Structure 1
């Protein structure tokens, strides 16, 4: 995606971004890369949630901690 020249916060129909998918699928190494390219760590999806909220609701402490490390606050 980084080489595709599309907006870094491009969303799918559910409002999810590459950053939220990286957190969801355990690609925690990609979080800092996406943020360095301008990804919004507090992006709100179509359901009103953020990647951090999703990680917390799934009891995924590794993803929640990694998101906080790159600046997620919501």
Structure 2
């Protein structure tokens, strides 16, 4: 069973990781990086990832999502 302290620590790490991803990824707007991380957290939770591993797993998945996004050519608007 997960303790309150473990959940609190995981939440702190999730916030720190989200901020770091938004700051590090200059290829995409910060909102895109944060939405990708949010989706990654949700996917990890649905997969049953324990609270202690959640920040690490979500960061890994979010980085994959952002890497794929930066490889896809964008249609021109205009």
Give the TM bin, normalised by the shorter chain: under 0.3
**Whose Rg is larger?**
2
TM-score by length of 1: 0.24
TM-score by length of 2: 0.23
